[in-house]
Amino acid sequence: MNGLGNEIVVVDLRGSKRELTADQVRAIVAGPQSRFDQLMALHDPRSPGTDALVRIYNADGSEAGACGNGMRCVAWLEAEATKRTSLLFETAAGVLTAEVESMGRITVDMGSPKFRWEDIPTRDAFADTRYIELQIGPIDDPVLHSPAVVNIGNPHAVFWVDDVDAFDLGRFGPMLENHPIFPERANISLAQVTSRTTIKLRTWERGAGLTKACGSAACAAAVCASRTGRAERKVTVTLPGGPLEIEWTAKDRILMTGPVEVEHAGEIVV
């Protein structure tokens, strides 16, 4: 499947005790019809009332705490199978709810953002994570600097720029993802606020690289833009793959709404 071009493989392991290893995940991504940015593995529910335990893997085999585009894919599949439109899934980031209206409009509650430096986490203690001391380039003329940081299930750093297409994110992304200031690595985004309700975004995803869309990064950009006074709490975030609607509610929840597409289904042998 894909969410705005973010390639997602969903593997249903419910009814078995099997768990995927990092090597098996990397073997799947190497397949001719199973290349992906993230893999969503569904396991038997662990918490009462939930539809599945979802473990999320990046293309490099590492495990992630959140994947907004992937959760929309999982929600659509479960809604199709059960004919229910309200669903609950347990993830490493907590229990997430999903509402399915149509294939083009699925809303996932991505939880509450975490702003404390130790929750993101960062190596250094920052009293204010609306901007941190991090830059690329000369001290007196940095290319990128002072990102906002937040945890949306995964660590995110958001750099504010005038033009997201003016930077070689494929070059800077790996360096920033693995910067020592991020002990668990980080998703790196370039955000261009085009109005109080619109943001343009490009993201280098931790463990996946450049992708056409990253749902949790869209949430991170929206929340950080609001927190720094750049935008309202409800915005449209446009990624290379298309737009997502993001709302940071008064109850401190992040609602992400967008589409999914089914590409093909079959069996994977690993």
Taking only the tens place, the pLDDT of each residue in 204-236 is: 999 999 999 999 999 999 999 999 999 999 999
Q: Which residues lie closer than 8 Å to 48 by C-beta, 6 or more apart?
A: none
Q: pLDDT tens digits, residue range 177-211?
A: 999 999 999 999 999 999 999 999 999 999 999 99
Task: Return all residues near 22 (Cβ < 8 A) that are at least 6 apart.
Answer: 57, 61, 62
User: Active site includes 67?
Assistant: yes
The candidate with the shortest Cα–Cα distance to 148, out of 165, 129, 161, 164, is: 129
Two tokens, residue 224 = 């950080």
Note whether 174 and 206 are within 8 A (CB): no
Query: Which 3 state secondary structure label does DSSP give 82?
Result: helix
Give 96-138 pLDDT, tens digit per residue: 999 999 999 999 999 999 999 999 999 999 999 999 999 998 8
- pLDDT at position 270 is 75
Q: Domains in the chain, start-ordered, CATH in brackets?
A: 2-111 (3.10.310.10), 135-250 (3.10.310.10)
> In the 3-class helix/strand/coil scheme, how is 128-182 assigned residue by residue?
CCCCCCCEECCCCCCCEECCEEEECCCEEEEEECCCHHHCCHHHHHHHHHCCCCC
- For the cut 70, the answer to whether the pLDDT of residue 64 exceeds it is yes
Query: In this predicted model, what pLDDT tens digit does every residue of 127-185 receive, in sequence order?
Result: 999 999 999 988 888 999 999 999 999 999 999 999 999 999 999 999 999 999 999 99
pLDDT(34) > 80: no
Cα-trace Rg, the chain: 18
Give all strands (DSSP E) within 71-126, no chain letters.
Answer: 86-91, 94-102, 105-109
Q: How far is Cα 256 from Cα 237, in angstroms, rounded to an integer?
A: 10
Residue 65's pLDDT is what?
A: 87
30 pLDDT above the threshold of 90: no
Q: What is the mean pLDDT of the chain?
A: 95
Which residue(s) pair with 114 in the sheet?
Answer: 151
Q: In sequence order, what are the residues at sequence separation of 6 or more whose Cβ sits closer than 8 angstroms to the Cβ of residue 36?
A: 7, 8, 9, 28, 29, 59
pLDDT higher than threshold 90 for residue 32: no
C-alpha dihedral (92, 93, 98, 102), degrees to nearest 10: -80
Q: Spot the catalytic one: 73, 214, 219, 224.
A: 214
What pLDDT shows up at residue 33?
A: 67
Number of H helices, E strands in the chain: 4, 18
Which of 67, 73, 219, 224 is an active site residue?
67
Q: Read off the tokens for 248.
A: 């940071």
Tens-digit pLDDT profile for residues 14-25? 999 999 999 999
Per DSSP bridges, beta strands 234-239 and 198-205 are parallel
What number is the average pLDDT over the span 80-97?
A: 94
**Residue 214 annotated in active site:** yes
**In sequence order, which residues have a C-beta less than 8 Å from that of residue 123 and are 6 or more positions away?**
180, 181, 182, 183
